[in-house]
Chains A and B, each alone.
Chain A
Amino acid sequence: MFKRKHLLGIEGLTRDEIDHILDTAQSMVEVSKRSVKKVPALRGKTVVNLFFEPSTRTRISFELAAKRLSADLINFSGSSSSLVKGESFRDTVLNLEAMHPDIFVVRHSQSGSPYYLTTFSKSSVVNAGDGAHEHPTQALLDALTIRQHKGGLDNLKITIVGDILHSRVARSNIFLFSQYNTKVVLAGPPPLVPPEFKNLGVEIEYDLDKAVEGADVVVMLRIQRERQTGSYFPSLREYRKYFQLTTERLKRADKDAIIMHPGPINRGIELMKDIADSDRSVILNQVSNGIAVRMAVLYLISGGSNELNN
């Protein structure tokens, strides 16, 4: 049972806790399908979207999740500011906290920031992405999507492709699947897939053809064009040659394999239209599941904090 006050990451969660969140999320799916998309569960609670890194999709997803639970939500967008540029992170949070929010949803460019927040704030904290560290709700919605299509999370082969080094999505997914009997394979250009990741219990395969062989799920990560200047790979052209998921390559995967992507997609780079819009792609499911998962997390977190207050 998930009873924590914060959701800072997947690392440390037990299989039981993850299952509980996913079960709760599954029951939230229905709320978004009715004509009155609202339940009063979090009525009177205040949720603050504390986004220090620009993000439209995750922010909107959390916003809808909070509102569908009848919570009040405010959006705060700050540039990741250091002492020199303006108000410090700490001051920003303490100022907002003086307005008595219940939950902070935090996205920040620096790893460890949500954890840091818990050291001086009394509110509950949900990590919406901290640097390259974790993005727990993304991993949870990925897991929910996989569960819906595959019946469960055990005995699967999951291949994650792309810029693993800078990906908090990859890390959270790796932590999540380590709790299940599932094989995770990472693929991508070597400078972006350091061998040290093997320490987390995953396999590394630089040949994409081999990496997707027999895969039940293929997760394509977004490659940022800016990484090209860091000499992580020589050109997008070469990236496409070796790491684009083509229909040909996909034939090596399991015949019922599903394709996932955390978004936004670079069409023509990670994926071509033939795959992105095919019926093997569950990318839009991921988006709807995102709201259900975030509703579940907000719901469970607000209950957990009551237990601690008592």
Chain B
Amino acid sequence: MNLIIKNGRVVDPSQNIDEKLDIIVENGKISKIGKKLKADGYKEIEAKGLIVFPGFIDMHTHLREPGYEYKEDIKSGSEAAAAGGITSVACMANTDPINDNEGVTSYIIEKAKDVTKVNVFPIGAVSKGMKGEELVEMGYIAEAGAVGFSDDGYPVRSSLVLRRALEYQKIVNKIIIEHAEDLELSENGVANESPLTYKLGLKGIPSASETVIIARDIEILRQVGGKIHFAHVSSVWSVELIENAKRNGLNVTAEVTPHHLLLNESYVETFSPLYKMKPPLRSEEDRVALVEGLKKGVIDVIATDHAPHTEDEKELEFGFAPFGVVGLETVVGLIFDRIVMSGIISMQRFAEVMSKNPAKILGLNNKGSLEVGKDADITIIDPEKKVVIDPNKFKSKAKNTPFIGWEVKGWPVYTIVGGEIVMGIDK
């Protein structure tokens, strides 16, 4: 589709732009960007009062297909993404069967082409069956379309396998994403290990279970080189480790979830499984350090770790409920309102962590930017739109959000992928 977006405030960190500009899209690419542009016959989007960003990318989601379609599938997950202003998602490999071969990778890519216009990029497992014993055929899987590798749901269990993956990365140049959790230290834990959970009689997941793996990975990286991305960082000590690693010149990046930026463990006193996830919500000190880390550049990306579960599954005793919360439909509004408009990070930084940086880490060279010639993936936000978060209105099959009832000002109103409007107020 050919489009012209007029009068919007365009924010693009890749070109250091933050001003009122018009954008023309032709054949799915950004073809022109400037002032007072004209394009007769093109579909016009009036963006006065709105903010125009390079399309947002959520590099950590669980779409549950194949195998767990009752929780979510590629179609409903992409619809959720589109509703939330997200133009590309990377989906993790802990499906059934696990995405540890090019067959499953191809299936996901083909299915996505059939059911959605949103970009869906599979992330393959690092080890076969995610057992942490043998490396997967990284080459074939990358060729089939995977943009990275992760055993997410689990850490890469063997230090040796991680080393091999990092060495192999020299010929399969895709990011390796670590879910940092030492399974022995976190055994049977359900919430952050702290005075609060000791009081509540809940088994704790100590911060050490995260930092132990981050430290391990950083040292292996130091030894053999490569690049590693740490998923859903949750502890102040993790931020410290990553900051040091970066200072030492190691190619380390990190992401944080909206719930870890906005919530802390005090919500767990309600014993509601809506606040149960891995890694767990930690102390206020941890939360503040994550926000600081995002601000300072220690943390590069915001990713939701969108983890759909059915209502029945989340309506269980706290100890028995599965871990995880959804996020695709709420991340943009929540972060825009509570982190950007509150003055914690700038509009440019927002675009960096939501678009430019994830694109770079995943090697999506034609995305994350509104430069002429790049893919026309665009997210447009109305900074005045007020929304009360209501899971009953979600496009996702799942309703498990900890932000139920939150009032937010600022919400995505257009999601454009390759020039196609996949979500729009006048669609």
Q: Which residues of A contact B (CB under 8 A)?
A: 11, 80, 82-83, 88-90, 108-113, 115-116, 130-134, 165, 168, 171, 194, 196-197, 199-200
- Residues on B with C-beta less than 8 A from A112 are 200, 202, 271, 317-319
Q: Which of A80, A83, A109, A111 contacts B200 (CB 8 A)?
A: A111
Q: Which residues of B contact A (CB under 8 A)?
A: 194-195, 198-203, 270-271, 312-313, 315-320
Could you tell me if B319 and A111 are in contact, using CB atoms closer than 8 angstroms?
Answer: yes
Task: Kindly report which residue of chain A lies nearest to residue B268, judged by CB atoms.
Answer: A112
Do A89 and B312 contact each other (CB < 8 Å), given the known contacts A115-B271, A199-B195?
Answer: no
Could you tell me if A116 and B317 are in contact, using CB atoms closer than 8 angstroms?
Answer: yes
- Residues on B with C-beta less than 8 A from A134 are 201
A161 to B145, CA, bound (A): 59
- Residues on A with C-beta less than 8 A from B194 are 196
Task: List 9 A-B residue pairs with CB atoms under 8 Å apart, sorted by A's residue number.
Answer: A80-B317, A83-B312, A110-B320, A111-B202, A112-B271, A112-B319, A113-B318, A116-B317, A200-B199
Chain A proximity of B306: nearest CB distance (Å): 22
- Residues on A with C-beta less than 8 A from B202 are 111-112, 131-133
Chain A proximity of B310: nearest CB distance (Å): 9
Do A88 and B316 contact each other (CB < 8 Å), given the known contacts A111-B201, A112-B200, A134-B201?
Answer: yes
A108 to B319, CA, bound (A): 11
Could you tell me if A111 and B318 are in contact, using CB atoms closer than 8 angstroms?
Answer: yes
- Residues on A with C-beta less than 8 A from B319 are 109-112, 131
Chain A proximity of B413: nearest CB distance (Å): 36
Q: Which of A108, A165, A168, A199 contacts B317 (CB 8 A)?
A: A108
Q: Which of A88, A90, A110, A199 contacts B199 (CB 8 A)?
A: A199
Task: Kindly report which residue of chain B lies nearest to residue A130, judged by CB atoms.
Answer: B201
- Residues on A with C-beta less than 8 A from B198 are 165, 194, 196-197, 199
Chain A proximity of B270: nearest CB distance (Å): 8
Could you tell me if B318 and A110 are in contact, using CB atoms closer than 8 angstroms?
Answer: yes
Do A196 and B195 contact each other (CB < 8 Å), given the known contacts A111-B200, A130-B201?
Answer: yes
A116 to B200, CA, bound (A): 14
- Residues on B with C-beta less than 8 A from A83 are 312-313, 316, 320
Q: Which of A88, A116, A194 contacts B318 (CB 8 A)?
A: A116
Task: Kindly report which residue of chain B lies nearest to residue A88, judged by CB atoms.
Answer: B316
Chain A proximity of B342: nearest CB distance (Å): 30
Chain B proximity of A143: nearest CB distance (Å): 19
Could you tell me if A110 and B317 are in contact, using CB atoms closer than 8 angstroms?
Answer: yes
Q: Would you list the 10 A-B pairs with minimal beta carbon distance, nearest first?
A: A112-B271, A132-B201, A133-B201, A110-B319, A110-B317, A199-B195, A111-B201, A196-B195, A82-B320, A196-B198
